[in-house]
Amino acid sequence: MLTLTFDTVEQLPDVARQLLERYPDERFYAFFGSMGVGKTTLIKEICIQLGVTQNVCSPTFAIVNEYSDRDGEPVYHFDFYRLKRIEEAYDIGYEEYFYSGCYCFTEWTEKIESLLPDHYLRIDISEAHGQRTLKAQVVE
């Protein structure tokens, strides 16, 4: 398990680099944490590290945004916050994304936890007294 603490947004490039370096073969990142804890902001920084040049923003209404990394490969960013029923994930064809072998970043993952692949990187972010703690571990 990787545990990192950070206080400022200026530290996020280093946090993103550490995640990508520590887990170079992982492509599915499942983010967990309360609203406002920084999930989207960290995903944005990871995407920058991957060479994404498009505007990375939360796909709250669209559910999924697609970007391209420096090699032109798709990067998928999901926000399941507005899902009312798990069937809505089926409606967008989640399987094609989740099992594509491309980077997938999910927010509000607890809403679709039963649909997660057997193998993924779980990232929990918590906040206390202005300091964030990130815990990452591979789930198999």
Domains (range + CATH), the chain: 2-139 (3.40.50.300)
- The H-assigned helical ranges of the chain are 12-22, 39-49, 87-91, 94-98
Closest of 86, 87, 89 to residue 104, by C-alpha: 89
Q: Which residue has the tokens 């490039």?
A: 13
Say if residues 80 and 63 touch (Cβ distance below 8 Å): yes
* Model pTM score: 0.95
Per-residue pLDDT tens digits for 17-47: 999 999 999 999 999 999 999 999 999 999 9
Per-residue pLDDT tens digits for 77-128: 999 999 999 999 999 999 999 999 999 999 999 999 999 999 999 999 999 9
